Every structure is written in C-alpha cells, then in structure tokens.
Amino acid sequence: MIRAICLSLVLAAPVLAEDAARVITLGGSVTEIAVALGAQDRLVARDTTSNFPESIRALPDVGYIRALSPENILALDPDLIVAEGDAGPPEAVEVLKAAGIPFVLAPEATDPGGVAAKITAIAEALDLPGAALASEVQAGLDVAAGRAATVVTPKRVLFILSLQGGGVMAGGEGTEAEGIIHLAGGINAATGFRGYKPMTDEAVLAAQPDVILMMDREGDLSIAESDVMAQPALSQTPAAKTGAIVRMDGMLLLGFGPRTPQAALALHAALYGSGS
C-alpha cells in the first residue's frame, strides 16, 4: 500500500508518525527544526545541506537536496522521510513517494510568515508538540522586525548567489534572500524578476546596491572580493566602491528555520552597525 503523504502551503493535513523510529530529514531547515523539536535521536540520515547543529554531521549523508538518489535513501530503511519543498529531482521524489514509506513535503518559507507553518507541519509529521518552538521563533522574528522598523534610510542590498561564467546570479523577488533582506531592514536591489536568475550588466548598474550580500562558501563556489571587482558592472556599484561586502553562512541566512531571528539580527548589525 502506498502511503506517500505530501504537505504543502495549500494542503497541510496532519501526518501522525508516532511509530517512526527511523527518520530521514532532507533539507537544512527541516533537520534544524526536527532537532529543535527533540527528534535528533530518531534521525538516521540527512542531506548535504543539513549541517547544523554540528552533531548532525555524524549522520550518513544521502546527497544534495535537489539531486537525491532514491536508492541511497531507501537503503537506510527509513520509517518516515521529511523533506524541504524543493527536494528533487521530481522523478526521485516520485520514487520515494511510491516506496510505501510516509513522505512529508514540508511547506516552503521565503519570508517570516512561513516559518511557523513549516515548524507546525514538521511537528505534526513527527507527532511532536510544535507550538512552543513556533511561538519562540515568532517572538524572535517580531524582535527582528521591530529592529528593522527603526531604520530611517534602508540600504539597497544585492544578494549574489554566484558569479559563474562572469555573470551575476542574483536573488530577485519572492526569494529567501529578499525575505531576509527585508527582515533585516534592507531593500532588495534586485527587482523586476522572481527567483534566482542572471542579471544583465545594465540591470546591475541600475540596481545601485549599497551592500553586496553573499553566502560564505569555500572551493569553486566561493566569491572573493577580487572576483567582485573583476566583474565590470559590479565593480562600478556603490557597494564595490566602498567595499561593502557581507558574507554569512548560507543555511543560517536563507534557511528560514529556528535560527532566522538570529540571522536577521546579524544581517541588520552588518548593514547598520551593532548599536542600531
């Protein structure tokens, strides 16, 4: 019998899993929420983006959230799979849903309003109380929003996902990047498009960012200050000219989970100073 269960923002039916002793979480914020709810002892694997808390890294890594291998996951004999909304590829997700194991697709969150819904859905999937955690995180989000509301002159922030091929891949409207920028009291400088997409040099120049925001990465995906200055359009922006480049841990910055209040306050301090 196929017991595939899907939760979404539109339909979030409760999934009781009181007997699920072997749980696999796919997605950094899903794993963080599961741990914060007290379910770490039930987790038997995680995906590559699940790297917080540090203790979770001891679990087997089943691969990147958007490039899952059903075979690797099913080989661990899970009783329940809880995944981020952007888990993929679609054919891999379909295999997992059809495998006779409860599969919960948690609602995505790209702004503060979605965090509580995500916590509630994951708590229901794990058959654990989630109201206290949701309330605690919401209180932190309210503090961050209050801090943002004190900003008199918001800074224009351009989130750069990558500079591969010399082009600027930026976070536009409706992205987690825009959500955290707003929560920190900034303005998203990338407008006129949704999602993470390339920007033309003309669009970058027109954006006039005061600050460039990036994930703190290593290896081939890292972006050095010299890379920013070597990009013709970026080098001419106010942010590049003043050296206003901010780097933060990617999952902390974009996860929209229990640490989002911390991320918003840290970004606010980076934009306006710790005394603001």
- C-alpha span between 261 and 112 (Å, rounded): 9
Give the pLDDT of residue 276.
60
Predicted confidence at residue 164, as pLDDT, reads 79
One domain for residues 114 and 29: yes
Q: Report which of residues 4 and 58 the model is more confident about.
A: 58
pLDDT bin (cut points 50, 70, 90) of residue 5 is: very low
pLDDT 10s digits, 83-99: 998 899 999 999 999 99
For residues 57 and 122, membership in a common domain is answered with: yes
Indicate whether 194 and 259 sit together in one domain: yes
Note whether 110 and 170 are same-domain residues: no
Does the residue 141 lie in any domain? no
pLDDT tens per residue, range 104-122: 999 999 999 899 999 999 9
Residue 4 tokens, joined: 């595939």
Based on the structure, what is the number of domains in the chain?
Answer: 2
- CATH number for the domain spanning 211: value is 3.40.50.1980
pLDDT band at 218 (very low <50, low <70, confident <90, very high): confident
Residue 41 has pLDDT above 60, yes or no: yes
Whether 76 shows a pLDDT value over 70: the answer reads yes
Tell me what pLDDT residue 13 has: 38
In this model, does residue 146 exceed pLDDT 90?
yes
By CB neighbour count within 10 A (0-12 exposed, 13-18 middle, 19+ buried), where does 112 fall? Answer: buried
pLDDT of 8 higher than 50: no
Question: Are 266 and 171 in the same domain?
Answer: yes
In this structure, how many other beta carbons lie within 10 angstroms of the beta carbon of residue 255? 27
Quote the pLDDT of residue 18. 58
| Residue appearing with tokens 């106010």 | 238
Indicate whether 183 belongs to any domain.
Answer: yes
In angstroms and rounded to an integer, the radius of gyration of the C-alpha atoms of the chain is 19
pLDDT band at 66 (very low <50, low <70, confident <90, very high): very high
Work out the burial of residue 241: count CB atoms within 10 Å of its CB; fewer than 13 is exposed, 13-18 middle, 19 or more buried. Answer: exposed
Average pLDDT over residues 166-176: 95
- Whether this prediction's pTM lies above 0.85 is answered by yes
Letter for the amino acid at 125? A
Q: Report whether 43 contacts 25 (CB < 8 A).
A: yes
Confidence of residue 165 (pLDDT cuts 50, 70, 90): confident
Structural domain for 120, as ranges? 23-129
Average pLDDT on 59-78 reads 94
Answer yes or no: do 125 and 160 share one domain: no
